[in-house]
Chain A
């Protein structure tokens, strides 16, 4: 997955990860789980791969985690912050 364009920026802060949509002049702060998902996807993992890693890290059900990951990515995509993500 990639950020939708070069004017979307991500920065780690003490209070969470911040996404800057500089073209539309909007700033989003995401929580720790969202930050983990974003980091894994931006480093090249697929949706399935991301869900697998997070399910292991949080000792959770992989299908449930996958559903959360998809929902989160859909929200980012709806705001035009990221491109489409390959499922596998």
Chain B
């Protein structure tokens, strides 16, 4: 990573406002959860321009719900038209035929839609609104419309104690609607999921059945739907990433740069630093003692991951001294 000219992937968390209030949201997003200092106007354009200028080959726009950001189509269109292979993560609740047509014109790598249950009762238990539950039927309609308009649709599924056993049915349903890729893995113990961990986390026995179903479905849908899953826990990933940082980072709604979703550490501020400077700071940040200490401690204390949205700005102005003590 040290000799790379820029990140391979940038995840742009463009707003923390969301139409939903999901019980497992890693970003703790919601209808009233917009940061009070989110990037806007010229600042958004400057960040988008710098992503292109730095030659970042691929990225994603996430939230919150990206589609409710007023500049979403402008930003996504600019990035996609200027060489960034773009993925957009959405709950798909706001997609109608006209929106699907507009999305098709963006030429995205994929529209990644969250579907966490095969039944309304399961889906609605996870995907909450301020007044009740989101409708599964709206998401399934959206997938169908997106696929009909030629948008490549991928689906993301988060298993919980009450939804893990529905994964096979979800794969069947979204495959029939035209989804081409299915992503899943263990639920991440971060953000709101960490707060609700006791009633969300599947048991190991459930995970065994879950992964067995995935293997069976991967064979069944071979050549039609790619089924991709990451079988490890978030602490396992953090341990690996501490030694092998990915060439990617997260841009927060306020322009701060977060090293990785599951840790609270910020390494740059795009209101003060260019994206190229942020990249150099990111590389240094992985060697910071606080980062290494967090990664070490979290192995035995994974409730620490609940602090991933209590952001900590790293002091990178002083030379980083590593100590084994």
Which residues of A approach B to under 8 Å, CB–CB? 6-7, 9, 11-15, 20, 22-23, 27
Q: List residues of B whose CB falls within 8 A of some A CB.
A: 3-5, 8, 55, 57-58, 83, 85, 107, 109, 152
CB contact between A13 and one of B3, B109, B152 (< 8 Å): that residue: B3
Chain B residue contacts of A9, Cβ below 8 A: 57-58, 83, 85
Grouping DSSP codes into helix (H, G, I), strand (E, B) and loop, the B interface class, with mixed when no group exceeds half, is loop
Q: Select which of A7, A13, A22 is within 8 A of B4 by beta carbon.
A: A13
| A22 to B154 alpha-carbon distance, docked (Å) | 13
Residues of A within 8 A of B107 (CB): 6
Smallest CB gap from A7: residue in B: B85
A22→B57 CA distance, assembly (Å)? 8
Known: A20-B58, A22-B85. A7 touches B109 (CB 8 A): yes
9 tightest Cβ-Cβ pairs between the two chains A and B: A9-B57, A22-B85, A7-B85, A20-B57, A22-B58, A14-B3, A11-B55, A7-B109, A22-B109
Q: Supply 10 further A-B pairs (C-beta < 8 A) apart from A12-B5, A22-B85.
A: A7-B85, A7-B109, A9-B57, A11-B55, A14-B5, A20-B57, A20-B85, A22-B109, A23-B85, A23-B109
Is B109 a contact of A27 with CB atoms below 8 Å? no
In the complex, chain B residues whose CB is within 8 Å of the CB of A13? 3-5
The residue that B85 contacts in the complex, of A6, A12, A15, A27, with Cβ under 8 A, is A6
- How far, in angstroms, from A23 to B22 measured CA to CA in the complex? 28
On whether the beta carbons of A15 and B58 are closer than 8 Å, the reply is no
B3 touches A20 (CB 8 A): no
B183 to chain A, nearest CB (A): 10
Q: Which residues of A contact B109 (CB under 8 A)?
A: 7, 22-23
Give Cα A15–Cα B57 distance, bound, in whole angstroms. Answer: 17
Chain B residues, Cβ within 8 Å of A12: 5
A23-B55 Cα distance, complex, nearest whole Å: 17
CA A51 to CA B109, docked complex, whole Å: 34
A51 to B4, CA, bound (A): 30
B178 to chain A, nearest CB (A): 16
CB-nearest residue of chain B to A19: B57
Closest CB in chain B relative to A62 CB, distance in Å: 33
B58 to chain A, nearest CB (A): 5
- B57 and A11 form a contact (CB under 8 A): yes
Once bound together, how far apart are the Cα atoms of A14 and B85, in whole Å? 22
Give the Cβ gap from B107 to chain A, nearest Cβ, in Å: 6
Q: Which residue of B lies closest to A14 (CB)?
A: B3
A6 proximity list for chain B (CB < 8 A): 85, 107
